């Protein structure tokens, strides 16, 4: 049985579906990863997926497909991806237990690799994929 690296809220799934529907016939989902950058050291990346990388992990909810870059998995274990729209901004949010700090504007974060022993002991951080 496989395991989901992250989960996504209903709002995030709805936004992913809207992005895919408005991106043309080749789009099938989005890809989440991380890269070095920003004042805190790392940034989340989101790219449109037209052809998935077979090494990516796939998370699905309510017809929305999100692939996770394999190089980001240890930093994203246990993360919940959400979506929020406020008066001043809208975008995906990441509730990540591996985040140790963030910059003031919230655009970059400091992440540590997941503590696999703690995840195994807790048992609820990584849920079975559906």
Asked if the model's pLDDT at residue 13 lies above 50, the reply is yes
102 compared with 63, residue with greater pLDDT: 63
Over residues 108-130, the pLDDT tens digits come to 666 666 776 666 666 544 444 44
The domains of the chain, with CATH numbers, are 3-122 (2.60.300.12)
Mean pLDDT of the chain: 82
For residue 83, list its beta bridge partners. Answer: 92
Cα torsion 70, 53, 96, 123 to 10°: value is: -70
Distance CA 80, CA 97 (A): 9
Average pLDDT of the segment spanning 88-109: 76
Higher pLDDT, 104 or 25: 25
Q: Residue 67 pLDDT > 90, yes or no? A: yes
């Amino acid at each position: 049985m496989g395991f989901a690296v992250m989960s996504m809220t209903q709002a995030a799934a709805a936004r992913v579906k809207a992005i895919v529907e408005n991106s043309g016939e080749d789009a099938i989902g989005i890809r989440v990863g991380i890269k070095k950058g920003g004042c805190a050291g790392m940034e989340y990346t989101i790219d449109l997926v037209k052809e998935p990388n077979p090494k990516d992990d796939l998370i699905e909810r309510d017809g929305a497909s999100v692939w996770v870059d394999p190089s980001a998995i240890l930093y994203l274990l246990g993360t919940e991806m959400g979506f929020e729209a406020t008066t001043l901004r809208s975008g995906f949010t990441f509730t990540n237990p591996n985040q140790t700090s963030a910059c003031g504007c919230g655009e970059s974060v400091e992440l540590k690799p997941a503590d696999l022993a703690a995840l195994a002991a807790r048992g609820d951080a990584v849920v079975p994929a559906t």
